[in-house]
Amino acid sequence: MPHRRLHLLAYDIASPARLRRALHTVRAHAVGGQKSAHECFLTEAERHALLARLRRLIHPRADRVLALRLDPRLGQRSLGIARPPADGPFLIVG
């Protein structure tokens, strides 16, 4: 089974239609997040596929996408009523 790593995906999309499509695309993989920043447990293949889909959705001069692989050695901190992301024994994508 491929190893999943926690990533933070954030975007700034100028067009409401492109924003809606980007939101649905990223939320299909998200385990947490808010508005335009999402936590996703992804394999390398899933990360490449997700970024390729986002590249087809965005306008390169007007929109921005940021994908960060988070260091697993660092502890997770939740603020307020947030819950830390959990990589359970299985993940449903869809």
Bind-site residues for Mg(2+): 12
Residue 93 and residue 5: Cα distance in Å, rounded?
15
Q: Which residues are annotated as a binding site?
A: 12
What is the identity of the amino acid at 41?
Answer: F
Nearest-angstrom CA–CA distance, 33 and 30: 7
Q: Which two tokens stand for residue 89?
A: 């024994």
